[in-house]
Amino acid sequence: MKPEDIPYQPWAKALVESRVGGAHAREESDANCLPPGVPKTAAAPPPWKIIQTTNQIAILHEAMTLWRQIFTDGREFAADLNPSWLGYSIGKWDGDTLVVESRGFNGKTWLDKVGNPTTEALHVTERFRRTNIGTLELQVTIDDPMAYTRPWMVTERFRLMTNGDLLESICENNKDLEHLPGSPLR
């Protein structure tokens, strides 16, 4: 998306503008060996794998060896979700599309490498759909009224590889961090 298409709250726009060109790269969660958040994990270059059972789906991410649980057993969101890096996800099928609602984020991650911010009010809706034998389309709606004036959407397409293995990828003592611009993450 073009930056002018994103409906920023004034403070969020100013923050993103200050992050242009990597000026605050040191403050990004994954630069600090912390989870990148949702939906950033889906857009990350390393592979990920989807495993489906009768009442939940797991998405395994090679990056940082992370996983997400998506509950498909009909449960509702609790009123007091414990804020977390990847949120709490509930999914259901709408025809051939898996619709995943995620809430309960800690607001410490960026939505993307550009530096679009999140808050604890973030609500992400992902729509996973296979458009053909080798392509997965992911439509993501971002609804974070503390950072954006209205919900907005982006669509990504991924090449499916059904016969690959994930490798362990651990972020250990990032020695590049001291060379990145910005303040240390607190």
pLDDT digits (tens, 9 = 90+) for 34-74: 777 787 765 555 688 889 999 999 988 887 778 899 999 99
- Tell me what the pLDDT averaged over the chain comes to: 86
Alpha-carbon span 103 to 173, nearest angstrom: 30
- Which CATH number fits the domain that encloses residue 147? 2.40.128
Our count of domains for the chain comes to 1
How are beta strands 66-71 and 56-61 bridged, if at all? antiparallel
Return the bridge partners of 92, or none: 99
Residue 170: inside a domain: no
- Is the pLDDT at 26 greater than 80, yes or no? no
Both tokens assigned to 63: 């990056």
Report if residue 167 sits inside a domain: no
In a domain, 128, yes or no: yes
List of residues 6+ apart from 144 with CB closer than 8 A: 118, 119, 121, 122, 123
Asked whether residue 30 is assigned to any structural domain, the reply reads yes
How many whole angstroms separate alpha carbon 86 and alpha carbon 36?
8
- Per-residue confidence at 77, pLDDT binned at 50, 70, 90? very high
Domain that holds residue 93: 3-161
Q: The whole model's pTM is what?
A: 0.86
Percent share of the chain, pLDDT over 90? 53
